[in-house]
Structure formats: structure tokens, C-alpha cells
């Protein structure tokens, strides 16, 4: 009998490795404490719509407590600690993340909806790697290129998004702590659990009280962190709209600010590219993490000579993607993070059809409960279409064509964003030429969505400013020393 399709038996990861509390308080001054009048809100599994736990809602008074604890820790033990001692704590956090890796991966999948394979193999290992990397910098700050005696800024207010909750927390906390700052971390409202378990890890690592504080709640909690007069530096990853509001609010305050915002990345495929490899990169670029990626390759620019071949191979590959239970190790596409995000994706996809683009999705069984959207490809897309201009933040790909390298660059740069881009070609000279002319913070050549703690990441234009990762990531948390 001819084998026409692969079938997979379910391979679910056990939930038993996670012991969730019925409710979580705020993490302030080294302890979990009840909110002062803010109450609690539920955090939900987007794949099943079940409530996972109740989480404290921090009000302005709670944020004030957290900032006060961070200030005392900074002016006390942590701010005066030698870099070699700080390094030991940061290294210990990295090791504990590794030791609790399976628990953290399952927790991230439950709270976020992403496939366990991605949380296990990408999010958690990269989070640990960032702490390891910056532990190595803690006693070498004078060699960071910021003068012979750079100084920490003080208290950092850090607001992270829901698409990579643990990893984004690591991106923020690791360089701040290595540089000698203390932190008030505000995780996203829909994905607070991994930050709260990270707070438990801070206790386990015996981090001095107040060095890391975690306040949970909606956007108003984040606004209270950002605007608090006791915060010296603000780091925000999230939507461009909110980032613009933060920049307006902080103008003239003297606070240091870094913003990592939205994107509408172009993934450019030339006619000499290795097409099978490029197709894998296209799939990884837009369908990884359900497209919930600020640097997602959501615009595919294909040279006309190979456009038909690329599209045929791409559709065949997308038909093999498996959508379903995020805890199943066979799953490629998990749940959309929230009902609100699903509604936004559906609205923008509908606009693509209304404006004349052709919509395609593979045959795909969608679970009855939870928030789901099938992998979707639009062809016949014009640069004026909303789906080619606006960040969808979902598994939706817009396909456009080009004839010459100059046209490819012009179309790729026709966006208010500037976070990332990809180039696929066998010619190194062409890849270099295109990369030099693209207005993007990161350009990948013959790959996509590759990250390393030693490599800086950040954008231009409406994708924000400042860099995270690498030596550059320390600059945001240090005051240049005297030469």
C-alpha cells in the first residue's frame, strides 16, 4: 500500500511537572505579598480557555512599594557589590533556569499557547543563555567601551510582552543585573506566570531582597511603573502605539529609555536562492510562535522568475504543519494568545480579502475550544493593502514579487517599521549589497529568526531604538565612566 501521508500518535508533555498555586501575589522586596486594594485577575490557557491561576493586580501603591524596595536594594548591598559577586548571582539564576527548564517550558506553553517544542528548545535555553552571557560581563564592565569606570543607572522599570514572556524577561533582567541595577519587572497581563516562577527562582538563588521585583496587572500597572519618579531607566517591548505613548510621557524627565516595538519584516528570495532551504526559512519566519513575533517575516518578496516555484513548494510545506494541542510534541502551530489578538488577526485577514488579495489556508481541523487561526497565505498583494502595511502579529503571510534587487530593496523599505529582514541568495556580494541598503536593525542571510545572547537586536523608525543583547545591551543600563 502506498504511503500518502504521515500520521503521528499524540505525544503530550505532562502537566504534572508544573505545580501552580491557586493564586499569586506580587513579588516585592524578596517576598510574595498581597496587593493593597488591587484585587486579583485570572490568567487563562488560550488553548482551552481554562483559568490557570488568579494573579494579583498591582495598583499605584503596589508599584510604589516595589520601586521603593528596588531603590533600597540599589543604594544598599547590590549597588555596592563587586562585579565578581554580582556575577555569581546572575550565573546562579542561569543554572536554576536550566535545572527547572522542563517546568518553565510547560508553564510557558500553558500560559502562552505556544508549542511545547518551541518553549522547550528555544525560549528556555535562550533565557538561560542570556543570564550566562551577562554573568560573564559583570566583572568586565570597564571593557564594554563605555569608559574605564561605567556606573549603573539605578532602578530599571521593565515592561515585557506576552509573545516571549520568559525570554523577554531574561533579555531585560540579565544585563540590568550584571551592570549593577535593580529592577521592577511588569509582565504582560495575559502571560504573568513564568515571571512569577522566575521570582521564585530569585528566592531560590538567594538574590538579595529588592534586587528583582515583579508587579502584575494590566496596562495601567505598566504605566505606573514607567511614570514612577523613582525609576531611572525604562525598557519596553511591545506595540508601537504604546511605545510612542511612553516616549511622549518620558520626554523631558531625564529617564533613559529603550524601546523594541513592532515590525513588518521583508523576507527577500532571489532567483538563485536554494529554494527548499528558503521555504523552510519562510515557514520559520512567519509561522514560528503563531506569528506572534515582532521580527516575523510577514512580507515575502520573491523574484518573479521563481515566484511560482516558491509558492508551490511553500504551500506543500504548509500543508504538513500540524495545528493543535500546544503540549503535544508534534504540534507546529499552537493557540493564539488571547481572544482580543484573535479578533485583530481575523479583522486584518478579512481586510486582505476585501481589498482583493487571494487567501489560502491548508485543510486544517481547528479545536472547538480555545483561540485558533490556521496558517494563511495571501497572494496578489499590493503594497497599499493593509495586510502589507500593518503588523498582524499572527500566522498570516503576504506575498509580493519583484524583478530587480533595487526594486526588492525599495519594496522592503516601504514601511514605517525597521526591525528585521531576511535575504536568500547564493551570492555573498548580493546579500551584502542588499543588507547595506535595507533599513532594518537585523538582517539575516539564508536564515531567519536566529538569535544569540552575544548579538545585539533592535530596530529603527517605528520599530524603536536601543539594542538588547551583546555588549550593546549593557549600554542601556550604564552611565559612561570618565576617560
**339 and 471, same domain (yes or no):** no
**370 and 471, same domain (yes or no):** no
For every residue of 181-250, DSSP letters joined together read -EEEEE--TT--HHHHHHHHHHHHTTPPTTSEEE---SHHHHHHHHH-TT--EEEEES-HHHHHHHHHHH
**252 and 368, same domain (yes or no):** no
**Residue (of 153, 415, 131) closest to 267 by Cα position:** 415
Does 2 map to a domain?
no
Does 7 map to a domain?
no
Catalytic positions are 260, 294
Kindly provide the residue ranges of all beta strands, DSSP E only, lying in 321-473, ordered along the sequence.
358-360, 376-379, 396-402, 420-424, 442-445, 464-465
Residue 334 is part of a domain; what is its CATH number?
3.40.309.10
Does 160 map to a domain?
yes
C-alpha cell of 131?
543570564
Per the listing, cell 533565557 goes with 127
**287 and 248, same domain (yes or no):** no
**159 and 245, same domain (yes or no):** yes
Q: What is the pLDDT of residue 1?
A: 42
For 100, the domain range is 15-261+462-479
Report how far residue 137's alpha carbon sits from residue 143's, in angstroms, rounded to the nearest whole number.
9
Q: Where are the alpha helices (DSSP H) in 113-146?
A: 116-118, 124-137
Q: What is the pLDDT of residue 6?
A: 64
C-alpha pair distances (Å), 151 with each of 80, 138, 167, 476: 11, 12, 26, 11
Q: By CB neighbour count within 10 A (0-12 exposed, 13-18 middle, 19+ buried), where does 272 fall?
A: middle
Q: What is the pLDDT of residue 37?
A: 79
Report how far residue 246's alpha carbon sits from residue 124's, in angstroms, rounded to the nearest whole number.
29
Q: What is the pLDDT of residue 9?
A: 86
Does 143 map to a domain?
yes
Q: For the chain, 483 residues long, give each residue's pLDDT as a single digit of tens.
A: 454 556 778 898 999 999 999 999 999 999 999 999 779 999 999 999 999 999 999 999 999 999 999 999 999 999 999 999 999 999 999 999 999 999 999 999 999 999 999 999 999 999 999 999 999 999 999 999 988 899 999 999 999 999 999 999 999 999 999 999 999 999 999 999 999 999 999 999 999 999 999 999 999 999 999 999 999 999 999 999 999 999 999 999 999 999 999 999 999 999 999 999 999 999 999 999 999 999 999 999 999 999 999 999 999 999 999 999 999 999 999 999 999 999 999 999 999 999 999 999 999 889 999 999 999 999 999 999 999 999 999 999 999 999 999 999 999 999 999 999 999 999 999 999 999 999 999 999 999 999 999 999 999 999 999 999 999 999 999 998 665
Does 445 map to a domain?
yes
**298 and 385, same domain (yes or no):** yes
**467 and 430, same domain (yes or no):** no
Contact 475, 467 (CB under 8 A): yes
Q: What is the pLDDT of residue 405?
A: 97
- What's the total number of domains in the chain? 2
Determine if the pTM surpasses 0.85.
Answer: yes
**160 and 29, same domain (yes or no):** yes
Residue 102 is part of a domain; what is its CATH number?
3.40.605.10
Does 4 map to a domain?
no
Does 5 map to a domain?
no
**289 and 243, same domain (yes or no):** no
Does 10 map to a domain?
no
**Residue (of 480, 454, 468, 419) closest to 176 by Cα position:** 468
Give helix 240-250 / helix 219-227 axis angle, nearest 10°.
Answer: 30
**188 and 278, same domain (yes or no):** no
Q: What is the pLDDT of residue 483?
A: 53
**143 and 42, same domain (yes or no):** yes
**340 and 434, same domain (yes or no):** yes
Report how far residue 54's alpha carbon sits from residue 43's, in angstroms, rounded to the nearest whole number.
6
For every residue of 83-101, DSSP letters joined together read HHHHHHHHHHHHHHHHHTH
Amino acid at each position: 500500500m502506498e504511503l500518502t501521508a504521515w500520521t503521528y500518535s499524540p505525544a503530550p508533555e505532562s502537566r504534572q511537572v508544573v505545580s501552580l498555586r491557586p493564586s499569586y501575589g506580587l513579588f516585592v522586596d524578596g517576598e510574595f505579598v498581597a496587593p493593597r486594594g488591587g484585587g486579583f485577575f485570572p490568567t487563562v490557557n488560550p488553548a482551552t480557555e481554562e483559568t490557570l491561576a488568579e494573579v494579583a493586580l498591582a495598583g499605584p501603591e503596589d508599584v510604589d512599594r516595589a520601586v521603593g524596595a528596588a531603590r533600597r536594594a540599589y543604594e544598599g548591598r547590590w549597588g555596592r557589590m563587586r562585579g565578581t559577586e554580582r556575577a555569581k548571582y546572575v550565573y546562579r539564576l542561569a543554572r536554576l533556569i536550566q535545572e527547572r527548564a522542563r517546568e518553565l517550558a510547560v508553564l510557558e506553553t500553558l500560559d502562552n499557547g505556544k508549542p511545547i517544542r518551541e518553549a522547550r528548545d528555544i525560549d528556555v535555553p535562550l533565557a538561560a543563555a542570556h543570564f550566562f552571557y551577562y554573568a560573564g560581563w559583570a566583572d568586565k564592565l570597564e571593557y564594554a567601551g563605555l569608559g574605564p569606570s561605567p556606573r549603573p543607572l539605578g532602578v530599571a522599570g521593565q515592561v515585557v510582552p506576552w509573545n516571549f514572556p520568559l525570554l523577554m524577561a531574561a533579555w531585560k533582567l540579565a544585563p540590568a543585573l550584571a551592570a549593577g541595577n535593580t529592577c521592577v519587572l511588569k509582565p504582560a497581563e495575559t502571560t504573568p506566570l513564568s515571571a512569577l516562577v522566575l521570582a521564585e527562582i530569585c528566592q531560590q538563588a538567594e538574590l538579595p531582597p529588592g534586587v528583582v521585583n515583579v508587579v502584575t496587572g494590566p496596562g495601567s500597572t505598566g504605566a505606573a511603573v514607567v511614570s514612577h519618579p523613582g525609576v531611572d531607566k525604562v525598557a519596553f517591548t511591545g506595540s508601537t502605539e504604546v511605545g510612542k505613548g511612553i516616549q511622549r510621557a518620558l520626554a523631558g524627565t531625564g529617564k533613559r529609555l529603550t524601546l523594541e516595538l513592532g515590525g513588518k519584516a521583508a523576507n527577500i528570495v532571489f532567483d538563485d536562492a536554494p529554494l527548499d532551504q528558503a521555504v523552510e526559512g519562510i515557514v520559520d519566519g512567519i509561522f514560528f510562535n503563531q506569528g506572534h513575533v515582532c521580527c516575523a517575516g510577514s512580507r515575502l518578496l520573491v523574484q518573479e522568475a521563481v515566484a511560482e516555484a516558491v509558492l508551490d513548494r511553500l504551500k506543500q510545506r504548509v500543508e504538513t504543519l500540524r495545528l493543535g494541542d500546544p503540549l503535544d510534541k508534534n504540534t507546529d502551530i499552537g493557540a493564539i494568545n488571547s481572544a482580543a489578538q484573535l479578533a485583530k488577526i481575523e479583522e486584518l485577514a478579512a481586510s486582505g480579502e476585501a481589498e482583493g488579495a487571494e487567501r489560502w489556508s491548508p485543510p486544517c481541523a481547528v479545536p472547538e475550544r480555545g483561540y485558533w487561526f490556521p496558517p494563511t497565505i495571501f497572494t496578489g498583494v499590493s503594497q497599499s493593502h493593509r495586510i502589507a502595511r500593518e503588523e498582524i502579529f499572527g500566522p498570516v503571510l503576504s506575498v509580493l514579487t519583484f524583478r530587480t534587487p533595487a526594486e526588492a530593496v525599495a519594496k522592503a523599505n516601504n514601511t514605517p517599521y525597521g526591525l528585521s529582514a531576511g535575504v536568500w541568495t547564493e551570492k555573498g556580494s548580493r546579500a551584502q549589497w542588499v543588507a547595506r541598503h535595507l533599513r532594518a536593525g537585523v538582517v539575516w542571510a539564508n536564515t531567519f529568526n536566529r538569535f544569540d545572547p552575544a548579538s545585539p537586536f533592535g530596530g529603527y523608525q517605528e520599530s524603536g531604538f536601543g539594542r538588547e543583547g551583546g555588549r550593546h545591551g549593557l549600554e542601556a543600563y550604564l552611565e559612561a565612566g570618565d576617560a
